[in-house]
Structure 1
Amino acid sequence: MWALKFLSFGLLFVAVPVSNLQAQGTRADYRRSAELRKRFSGKVFRDRIRLKWFADDQGGWYRVDLADGKREFVLVDVGRRKRRAAFDHEDLADALTEATGKAFDPEKLPLEGLRFSADRKQCWFRAVGKGWLCERDDSKLQEAEEPKNFDPGSDRQPADWKRPGFESPRNRRSPDGVWEVFVKEHDLHLRNRRTGSELRLSGGGDQERSWSDNVFWSPDSKRLVAYNTRRGAKHTVHMVESSPQKQLQPKLHSHQYLKPGDEIPLRRPHLFDVSSGREIPVSNKLFSNPWRVRELRWNKAGDRFTFRYNQRGHQVLRLIEVNARSGVARAVIEETSKTFLDYAYKQFLFYLDDTNELLWMSERDGWNHLYLYDSRTGRVKNQVTRGHWVVRGIEKIDVKARQLWFRASGLVEGEDPYHIHFCRIDFDGSNLVRLTSGDGTHQVRYSPGGDYLVDTWSRVDRPPVTELRSATSGRRVCRLEQADISALKEAGWQQPERFRAPGRDGRTGIWGVIYRPTNFDEDVEYPVIEKIYAGPHGSFVPKSFRSSFDTQVLAELGFIVVQIDGMGTSNRSKAFHDVCHKNLGDSGFPDRILWMRAAAKTRPWMDLSRVGIYGGSAGGQSSLRGMLV
């Protein structure tokens, strides 16, 4: 039994003396809570931009929208490493007033369709139904049609660098256009589109074993791979609707829902030779019990294909290669775990065909990292990333330069280990460069040419900062914006507080956030409510800045609300994550309890004799267990 008793939110809290206690749920509390989002809405400025890059990738422009309809137009010059006004707003307002006879407010210029000349000396825009050409240095203005060679800028992201040929395309029709696959009478058939002749490829099909006619063709159209799926077991789950609207008696609802241990759908790849119409047998010894078979991919020569096999139970993962001539299968890579392999969020595969290599993601050293493999031998050539931090995702791969760009967390010592930073590294594991800087979690958008990135970083207690940086070296070109939250503070915004405490092992940091009501009084003792979500597929405590959270709305009713990522959740070490293995009921409660106790030691206004808990989905399961255990 937990040392700290959890009670369900919505139930009566335990009886305690009323001195220095906050009464919850007054009419004023509910009114203030209901109006909180509206009260804080539209009170943050300069927190986000969308830079429209010029075609040369050496600058661009953006608009800043401010309070009361005010706006600024900003020009960015990479070469000069500066941002500046796109034009003199006051002079342009005067010029427009003179040209149209209408008064223009320099802080509310109604410019649309803005674009610039290649030398940035002129700009063109639409206003009051007309087109205008403006000299940027002196704001001389003349009515003009839209110039053909002026650049409006683009916020388009670079083309997808990451996964060319990640999976071969599926199609009914062969690449040479001669053949077409279709299903008839539960079996797979092949039609010659030139002669109209038909050939049955498979046999023994029935309603329980279905074929997909969306097949994987070899590049030379000589072979194809099709999936055959055996249906899973029938497992009917019944639910009773106690009070249906259209009848007096309860209503029974039944649907199929497979549970652990049930026979699940079984999908396997089958290889066929087109010229003979025969199946080339492939032993399923290496993929006999799949939870999923996916990412099937032919090589360029069409004599081999690979696919990823995740064994049911998620303790075996293989990259399997099949010789298309002989049907012989081999495991190029095999990952095993005594607990589980995170198949959903910690998998990455990238083929380097020209050098017979591939990039692979694994937690084998206790942290989520990338490895370079020889695809012919299945041997690890080198570990690409390493350290007590985790790769969170791949941004870009430059095959020629043998470099990759990626997201990581836990990389910067002293920061919240969930903060995301962006990095670059060589395939051989050398020259690791952190491209972002600033104690917060980062989001980036790349220039269309990929040479620069716009980095916006923040924390729940730190308003966003937006900077322009080199996407190669990380060198800061210039700061673009610093968010203005003065209006938010004037509206009574209560800043969330980050807090860290040791977990159950006495060493590992457990991170969370504390929310207070806007009328917070440190001399009052408040009951504490945790919003919990302990699903093992992610981490859930907010890390970036927002003007309002749903937890804040609840706090406004007179509570201290907390969110915590305990052990068993993701995005830390493998050992941290493994706590959830066959142990979902743990929900990180030992860590959460220690965290609350540590927080309350220096925060006497947190009354741990009155603790509530709530959550949705997995959070609901944790809430119920917190009540009962």
Structure 2
Amino acid sequence: MKYIISFCLICMLSINVLSGQQLLSTEDYDNAVDQLRWNTNKLVDRMNVYPNWQGDDAFWYRVSDNGKTEYVLVNSENGEKKTTDSKDILDSWLEEKKEKTKYDRRTELLSPDAQKAAYIEDWNLWVRDVKSGDKTQLTFDGIENFGYATDNAGWRKSERPILLWSPDSKKIATFQQDQRHVSDMYMVNTQVGAPKLSAWKYPLPEDDDIIRIHRVIIDVPSKDIIRLQMDPDPRRGTLCDDISCDGAFDDNYWNDDATKLVFVSTSRDHKIAQLRIADARTGEVKDIFKEEVDTQYESGQGAINWKYLPNSNEFIWYSERDNWGHLYLYDINTGELKNQITSGDFVVTRIKKLDESNRVIYFEANGKEQGRDPYFSHFYKVDFSGMNLRLLTPENGNHRISLSPNGKYFVDNYSQPDVPPVSVLRTIDGQFISTLEKADISRLLATGWKPPQPIKVKSDNGEFDLYGLMFTPNEMEEGKKYPVVNYVYPGPQGGGVGSRSFSASRRDHNALAALGFVVIVIDGSCNPNRSKAFHDAC
């Protein structure tokens, strides 16, 4: 915090000297510190519901009210709430969790039947019997920089294996990662004391030798290794610049009897996505479908949106081919298009649930509701055929959805940057059940807190509307000039504004406004969550 304020002080001194403005006082800076998130967040009461589901029809959540913690148990069928200030609910839930299989989430990956845990030791893959503790080595030729299931490419340094268990817990889809000839990257830390040099494998843009993965399928009972009959892939995924965005082996699906593995190979430059099917017994690989674009292909915005449907021999594909991010239904055997599922001037961002029996998709999307901020996320359902598209969250705002495990209910926290959250419970078809919480910001407002103002401006070429937020000092004098801070993050993977949900403090924007700045934050062209043309306008 001292470093932040010191930096602000330097900026303000420079501006004051140049503009002749009066220097700010210590009290002014103390007031600015009060606007930083660790001081503002605690002043918002009853904000958002994060459900911890118990069984199919009940959940509990924790909420704070003026510093006091409450635990609330909810019956999903009727929305009835039971509130207590004791942590009996939490203790019961934790006890239930303890009864489940124990394993080290940092270094192991549990099988679906919870009987085995896969882990890496000396660059090779092992499994541990969870009950007996017996260990079995599955691979034997792994060495440094050519190990199995390793999560150490580029910046990543996790010890957790990257793999996908089959549904029957008898097979593992993973890879042997080759970075033996990749150049080293070096970094010296800036901590106090003697500097320390770190080195890791990291290919530069023009390097011929890059990190590649040799895909394999391991039969756990027999310890047989089936190498897929294909060239090694770049370590790339359809959603991020890696095969694992959040610890899982992305872009891989098993069929129900673990005889087939469906996966996508992504080119080094992210311009080609090739969907393939591998025979898990022979390693034979068949190319099914390819999407090739001029700039970059992404399978979604925040989530991978291509899905394998083994029961109907189909797959759902995400594409921006018509200038907007939409879903398409394909035949998995022929690679032929059956129909476009979603269409229009909006972006499908995340598939939340697939009801294969009824052939219905539940998904989040931006920009479909006219007259609203195009970055607001809403929840929808649509048939696989593309018919019967329906909005499930009608309120104006950014909706954050938490589905029940059985898929019958969802908790919806909706808000706007300048409107505090409301938390409601609905059925999966959008029927309102009850209001769970309404955030109270009265204590926050009492400090002089001022919400940001949503703004809309034109891009420099007049082609696009740009949306953002403006933070201003609490009291502005007419005719007075104010220094402007333009906060810019021009990356194609994210914008400067961030979430459109309510927040008591956004980075240091509120604090800078308290010091007399006008802070402008815009999601400019080249940022995601809009049209393909917008995303590519860099």
* Paired AA for residue 530 in structure 2: R
CA gap of 1:278–1:546, structure 2 versus 1, over 3 A, is closer
Q: Is the aligned partner of 1:265 residue 2:223?
A: no
CA gap of 1:212–1:16, structure 2 versus 1, over 3 A, is closer
CA gap of 1:16–1:490, structure 2 versus 1, over 3 A, is same
Alignment match, 1:310: 266
CA gap of 1:242–1:430, structure 2 versus 1, over 3 A, is closer
Provide, for residues 363-420 of structure 1, a one-character-per-residue CA deviation record: whole Å limited to 9, x for no partner. 2222222222211111121122222111111211112111121111112111111101
CA gap of 1:24–1:355, structure 2 versus 1, over 3 A, is farther
CA distance in 1, matches of 2:415, 2:186: 47
> In the TM superposition, what is the alpha-carbon distance from 1:255 to its structure 2 partner?
2.6
Q: Is the aligned partner of 1:352 residue 2:309?
A: yes
Correspondence for 1:235 among 183, 199, 215: 183
> In the TM superposition, what is the alpha-carbon distance from 1:462 to its structure 2 partner?
1.2
CA distance in 2, matches of 1:458, 1:375: 40
Q: Which has the larger radius of gyration?
A: 1
Correspondence for 1:502 among 458, 472, 487: 458
> In the TM superposition, what is the alpha-carbon distance from 1:244 to its structure 2 partner?
7.0
* Paired AA for residue 438 in structure 1: E
Alignment match, 1:579: 537
Whether the 8 Å CA contact 2:53–2:60 is kept in 1: the answer is yes
Correspondence for 1:520 among 460, 476, 480: 476
CA gap of 1:44–1:375, structure 2 versus 1, over 3 A, is same
> In the TM superposition, what is the alpha-carbon distance from 1:538 to its structure 2 partner?
1.9
> In the TM superposition, what is the alpha-carbon distance from 1:281 to its structure 2 partner?
7.5
- Greater relative contact order (Cα 8 A, min sep 6): structure 1 or 2? 1
What's the TM-score, normalizing by structure 1? Answer: 0.63
CA distance in 2, matches of 1:200, 1:446: 37
Whether the 8 Å CA contact 1:230–1:266 is kept in 2: the answer is yes
* Paired AA for residue 491 in structure 1: T
CA gap of 1:74–1:500, structure 2 versus 1, over 3 A, is same
CA distance in 2, matches of 1:221, 1:113: 36
Whether the 8 Å CA contact 2:252–2:262 is kept in 1: the answer is yes
CA distance in 2, matches of 1:234, 1:525: 54
Alignment match, 1:414: 371
Q: Is the aligned partner of 1:465 residue 2:410?
A: no
CA distance in 2, matches of 1:110, 1:207: 54
Alignment match, 1:614: none
CA distance in 2, matches of 1:455, 1:526: 39
CA gap of 1:207–1:45, structure 2 versus 1, over 3 A, is closer
Q: SS state of the match for residue 30, structure 1?
A: helix
* Paired AA for residue 179 in structure 2: R
CA gap of 1:522–1:547, structure 2 versus 1, over 3 A, is farther
The correspondence of residues 151-300 of structure 1 with structure 2, limited to 5 A, is 209-211=146-148, 227-237=175-185, 245=193, 253=197, 255-256=199-200, 257-262=202-207, 263-270=209-216, 283-284=229-230, 291=236, 295-300=251-256
Alignment match, 1:44: 44
Correspondence for 2:352 among 395, 401, 421: 395
Q: Is the aligned partner of 1:437 residue 2:394?
A: yes
CA gap of 1:336–1:23, structure 2 versus 1, over 3 A, is farther
Q: SS state of the match for residue 31, structure 1?
A: helix
Alignment match, 1:32: 31
CA gap of 1:24–1:259, structure 2 versus 1, over 3 A, is farther
Aligned length: 477
The correspondence of residues 71-150 of structure 1 with structure 2, limited to 5 A, is 112=86
Whether the 8 Å CA contact 2:213–2:233 is kept in 1: the answer is no
CA distance in 2, matches of 1:553, 1:77: 40
* Paired AA for residue 203 in structure 2: L
Provide, for residues 205-256 of structure 1, a one-character-per-residue CA deviation record: whole Å limited to 9, x for no partner. 876644569887888999986633322535345567899745xxxx684634
CA gap of 1:447–1:217, structure 2 versus 1, over 3 A, is closer
CA gap of 1:110–1:340, structure 2 versus 1, over 3 A, is closer
Q: SS state of the match for residue 354, structure 1?
A: coil
CA gap of 1:379–1:9, structure 2 versus 1, over 3 A, is farther
Cα RMSD, aligned residues only = 4.9
> In the TM superposition, what is the alpha-carbon distance from 1:45 to its structure 2 partner?
3.2
Alignment match, 1:558: 516
Q: SS state of the match for residue 311, structure 2?
A: helix
CA gap of 1:10–1:353, structure 2 versus 1, over 3 A, is same
Whether the 8 Å CA contact 1:171–1:216 is kept in 2: the answer is no
> In the TM superposition, what is the alpha-carbon distance from 1:337 to its structure 2 partner?
0.8
* Paired AA for residue 572 in structure 1: R
Whether the 8 Å CA contact 1:29–1:558 is kept in 2: the answer is no
CA distance in 2, matches of 1:299, 1:476: 36
The correspondence of residues 588-607 of structure 1 with structure 2, limited to 5 A, is none
Alignment match, 1:598: none
CA distance in 2, matches of 1:297, 1:380: 20
> In the TM superposition, what is the alpha-carbon distance from 1:331 to its structure 2 partner?
1.5
Q: SS state of the match for residue 290, structure 2?
A: strand
CA gap of 1:278–1:243, structure 2 versus 1, over 3 A, is closer
CA distance in 2, matches of 1:383, 1:525: 53
Q: What is the identity percentage for the equivalent residue pairs of Structure 1 and Structure 2? A: 31
CA distance in 2, matches of 1:538, 1:69: 36
What's the TM-score, normalizing by structure 2? Answer: 0.72
* Paired AA for residue 211 in structure 2: P
CA distance in 1, matches of 2:480, 2:519: 15
CA gap of 1:62–1:306, structure 2 versus 1, over 3 A, is closer
Provide, for residues 186-223 of structure 1, a one-character-per-residue CA deviation record: whole Å limited to 9, x for no partner. 9999xxxxxxxx999998x8766445698878889999
CA distance in 1, matches of 2:164, 2:76: 48
CA gap of 1:462–1:522, structure 2 versus 1, over 3 A, is farther
Provide, for residues 305-350 of structure 1, a one-character-per-residue CA deviation record: whole Å limited to 9, x for no partner. 3322111111111111134566543221211111111268463232
Structure 2 portions without partners, runs of 5+: 1-9, 97-107, 127-135, 151-160, 238-242, 244-249
Q: SS state of the match for residue 329, structure 2?
A: strand
